[in-house]
A and B are shown apart, each in its own frame.
Chain A
């Protein structure tokens, strides 16, 4: 398991908070809540992929520059699944 924290510049406020996903093989859970600055705390079962995480998250925040505290508990999800879960979580914050 590896853990790291990544910071991004985001300023669009979130309406609510959301939780999606499960820590199951190939999946992850995302906890997303409003915050003043954007910090993503990642815990992942697969070591050595911090760069890939950074790139995946950069793409997400480029499209959705939200100010959010995000926690990710990952069990080996692909970048595609990560992006999907983030988008799902963001959608749910609006519900």
Chain B
């Protein structure tokens, strides 16, 4: 990249959720739903002496992408680790359900999920998990009509039940700073021991679940530089491409065949040699 191009780059990773939603929507089209002044915050956090946030850490924004009606749902990773509580989860699921209603009625809609989360908020435990099931249900229902595009920028990444959501989207865009998995490294170390996974071994963690690795083995579709304009371009291109013939989570024979070809040890580079070609 040339020096002027580098100078004009805006890091997407460094943007907060609201700025991220704005960056992905066409210029001037951003309109937030259930913003901070609607004050629908978590009913559960203050009762546990935890300071809530007025938007519960999820930004839902209507607008257009490439001139087509859109909704961007962006998770704020800085608030409670981007965790899914009752309200934040209902915002995500509810927005997807409304998008599905539009899509079923033949109205164009371009839904985007911007992940930045460790998964269910344990301070709201069962209601976070219930909301997660609603989110999964809504993505599956919606993507039958229109593609659902997911973005993982980093630095938190996308884990827990939301990692499953990332597995359900029609097209997944990641940066090198992204990580994607089901169980975060700390949780694995706590449950299975440090000999299973040393959560402080950052190079190892990135070699397993980092954006570059996920893209190399076909667990992410696009690897994009950490640049707001580049990510907006990638999101538009994903919609222009349309829905895949088969979603990754439907390709049972393909992925089971891959699981029959595993390296001697679970190492990222070794896996890249085996899982090449026939990119889903």
Direct contact of A and B (CB under 8 A): yes
- A contact set with B: CB distance below 8 Å: 1, 17, 19, 22-24, 27, 29, 31, 33, 43-45, 71, 73-75
Q: A22-B76, A23-B79 are in contact. Are A1 and B53 (CB under 8 A)?
A: no
* Contact partner, B16, options A17, A22, A31, Cβ 8 Å: A22
The 8 closest A-B pairs by CB, nearest first: A24-B78, A1-B49, A23-B53, A19-B36, A22-B78, A45-B51, A43-B51, A73-B51
* Contact partner, A1, options B37, B46, B78, Cβ 8 Å: B46
- B contact set with A: CB distance below 8 Å: 16, 35-37, 46, 49-54, 76, 78-80
Chain B binding site: helix, strand, loop or mixed by DSSP? loop
Known: A23-B53, A31-B36, A43-B46. 4 other contacts (CB 8 A): A1-B46, A22-B53, A22-B76, A44-B51
| Distance in angstroms between the alpha carbons of A53 and B52 in the assembled complex | 19
Q: A17-B37, A31-B37 are in contact. Are A1 and B54 (CB under 8 A)?
A: no
* Distance between A34 CB and nearest chain B CB, rounded to angstroms: 12
Contacts of B49 in A (CB 8 A): 1
Contacts of A73 in B (CB 8 A): 51-54
Are A74 and B78 interface neighbours, CB within 8 A?
Answer: no
